[in-house]
Amino acid sequence: MQGRHFLHIPGPSPIPDRILRAIAMPIIDHRSAEFGALGKEVLEGSKAVFKTSQPVVIYPSSGTGAWEAAITNTLSPGDTVLMAETGHFATLWKQIATRFGITVEFIPGDWRHGADPVAIEARLAEDKAHAIKAVMVVHNETSTGATSRVAEIRKAIDAAGHPALFMVDTISSLASVDYRHDEWQVDVTVSGSQKGLMLPPGLSFNAISEKALAASKTNKLPRSYWDWQEMVKINASGFFPYTPATNLLYGLKEALAMLQEEGLDNVFTRHQRLAAACRAAVKAWGLEVLCQNPDEYSPVLTAVLMPPSHDADRFRKIALEKYNISLGSGLGKVAGKVFRIGHLGECNELSLLGALSGVELGLSAAGVPHRSGGVAAAMASFEGQDKANETAVAAVA
């Protein structure tokens, strides 16, 4: 096919040219002074994205590795944790914990909402013996397009007077959705490189509180590759206890620079703006957004329900073959029932409008019942947001 491929899955996200060029640096000695300077810069710079002054460790792995690191550094076999069934990725994190002999209390969910702070507070209040050692939630559930209200969950834990560790997966939300590790008193924040950080897959992160680091000194799960103690000790000089993903760290340095140049608050506003326009298109098509709570709409992606008796994967295949656009598939319980439009990372108004054009053409080509005008609705959303911003600026002036 001629022309650009439109990659609009919810990660890996498109990689900016600046980052591709940075990754293309010649390989260097990962024990050299030059590398030590790079290591110190990215380890320190990553803290700003997590909004923390506490240690951030970086692994050469996918986000799944960072899930495992969060578990193996804090918990012991037989411990109980509280999790919420927000979607496919919460379910996968639960499965990993179970494999390590952790008992998981899984608050049932319908895959259309984020974690419920009220239900979490109620369960913790019942736990008078403090048997629950951690509360673990997914901030942005990539399979459903619903975000969990992390600040409210922190308040719920505090209201229950419970000492449980608080662990949050930000693999698909970091650098796209406002997140505050220190302010929200999160103990372990898990993330990955291939979403809002605009990098290839291959780096994962743990941001670690003092409370979590203390837990890692007494817990009983074995680890070697994932051991925080060794990482934190050697990271102090900018180095790693084993061979790091050197060229991805060059890319991370460039990604951090790009985020700071735009300004994190501006990054978050841009993602909200794109998400609102995407939802306007879905509504104009007469289709339904999977997430049901407007307070939990994801700025990262929009999951769209297919009409009954229509297969989302068939639609995605036709859209790819005819219009060169990749859309996210439904996962787990919603496989074949939804498709997902990613609008994260290096994405702006025109790239989203191009993607929405491909979706609208694909819906017609696949014979999916819908109304036309989704792209026009997205354009109107952008125009309306611009006018509202101009009015707000004028009012302040």
CATH number of the domain residue 128 falls in: 3.40.640.10
Cα dihedral 339/344/350/356 (nearest 10): 10
Q: Are 67 and 217 in contact (CB under 8 A)?
A: no
Mark which of 225, 240, 260 sits at the end of a domain: 260
CATH number reported for the structural domain that contains residue 370 in this entry: 3.90.1150.10
Residue 61 · residue 204 · CB < 8 Å = yes
User: Can you give the pTM of this predicted structure?
Assistant: 0.96
Structural domain total, the chain: 2
226 with 334, same domain?
Answer: no
Residue 99 lies in a domain: yes
| Per-residue confidence (pLDDT) for residue 395, from 0 to 100 | 87
- For residue 205, being part of any structural domain is answered with yes
Looking at the structure, tell me whether residues 186 and 111 fall in a common domain. yes
Quickly count: other Cβ atoms within 10 Å of residue 249's Cβ: 25
pLDDT of residue 90: 98
Considering the domain architecture, whether residues 206 and 296 belong to the same structural domain is answered as: no
Q: Do 241 and 319 fall within a single domain?
A: no
Residues 236 and 95 in one domain: yes
233 and 282 share one domain: no
Residues 73 and 162 both lie in one domain: yes
Range of the domain at 272: 6-12+263-396
Q: Is residue 80 part of a domain?
A: yes
Query: Per-residue pLDDT tens for 16-73?
Result: 999 999 999 999 999 999 999 999 999 999 999 999 999 999 999 999 999 999 999 9
The β-bridge partners of 289 are: 304
Single-letter amino acid code for the residue at 47: K
Task: Judge if 174 and 279 occupy the same domain.
Answer: no
Do 93 and 67 touch, CB atoms closer than 8 A? yes
**What does the alpha-carbon distance between residue 82 and residue 166 come to, in Å, rounded to a whole number?**
10
Q: Could you give the dihedral angle defined by the CA atoms of residues 285, 286, 291 and 294, in that order, rounded to the nearest 10 degrees?
A: 90
Note whether 78 and 202 are same-domain residues. Answer: yes
End-of-domain residue from the set 244, 260, 276 = 260
Q: Write down which residue in 226, 260, 294 finishes a domain.
A: 260
What pLDDT, on the 0 to 100 scale, is given for residue 209? 98
